[in-house]
Amino acid sequence: MRQVNLLAHQTYDHGQMRTGYRWRGGKIANQLKAERIGGTVYDILADDERTFPYHFHHGMEEWLIVVDGTPTLRMTWGERELRVGDVVCFKPGSEGAHQVRGPGTVLIVSANRVPETVEYPDSGKIAARPPGLVFRTADAVDYWEGELDEEGSA
Buried/exposed 85-108: b ≥16 CB within 10 Å, e otherwise: eeebebebeeebbbbbbbbbbbbb
Tell me which of 79 and 45 has the higher pLDDT. 79
Whether the CB-CB separation of 50 and 22 falls below 8 Å is answered with no
| Res 154: pLDDT | 66
Mean pLDDT of all residues in 146-153: 80
Class of domain 14-113: mainly beta
Listed by start position, the domains of the chain span 14-113
Burial label, 58 (beta-carbon count in 10 A; 0-12, 13-18, 19+): middle
Burial label, 32 (beta-carbon count in 10 A; 0-12, 13-18, 19+): middle
- Alpha helices (H) along 58-140: none
Residue 152 has pLDDT above 80, yes or no: no
Render pLDDT for 76-134 as a digit per residue (tens, 0 to 9). Answer: 999 999 999 999 999 999 999 999 999 999 999 998 888 999 999 999 999 999 999 99
What letter does residue 94 receive in the DSSP assignment?
G
* pTM score of the predicted model: 0.90
Burial label, 42 (beta-carbon count in 10 A; 0-12, 13-18, 19+): buried
Three-class SS state of 6:
coil
Three-class SS state of 41:
strand
Whether the CB-CB separation of 132 and 126 falls below 8 Å is answered with no
Q: What's the mean per-residue pLDDT of the chain?
A: 93
CA atoms within 13 A on the CB side of 125: 12
